Structure 1
Amino acid sequence: MRDWKINKKSNFIHYCPNETIDSISINEEPNFSDKFVITDCSSNILSKKLILKIIV
């Protein structure tokens, strides 16, 4: 993820750590610091520890 090119103007990031159609799995812990992250964990929500910070 260090090499990802994320637009500095973006307001959020859509993150899917386990995409089942093309068998893509990201095992790194994300750190998007100043971005809101929308996460799709539907494929692996019960298979690994997930730490969430919810901002309301």
Structure 2
Amino acid sequence: NLNDNEKNINSNEILTIDEYVKYVIINYQNIFPDTDLSKKLGISRKSLWEKRKKYEISKKK
């Protein structure tokens, strides 16, 4: 849920790595191509695809 992620990022809570990665994918997938986004996250494009599947994030075209 995007609102939950925004609340977590904007509060003083510390996010887990997975929560942060999910937030970045949701909020930046329409700004950066997959290759750039995966490089910024330090993961492969395949891992990016797997994380989208894991978190049920649909890629907007």
TM range (shorter): under 0.3
**Which structure has more RCO (C-alpha within 8 Å, separation ≥ 6)?**
1
TM-score computed with the length of structure 1 as normaliser: 0.28
For the pair shown, the structure with the greater C-alpha radius of gyration is: 1
TM-score under structure 2 length normalisation: 0.27
Higher strand share: 1
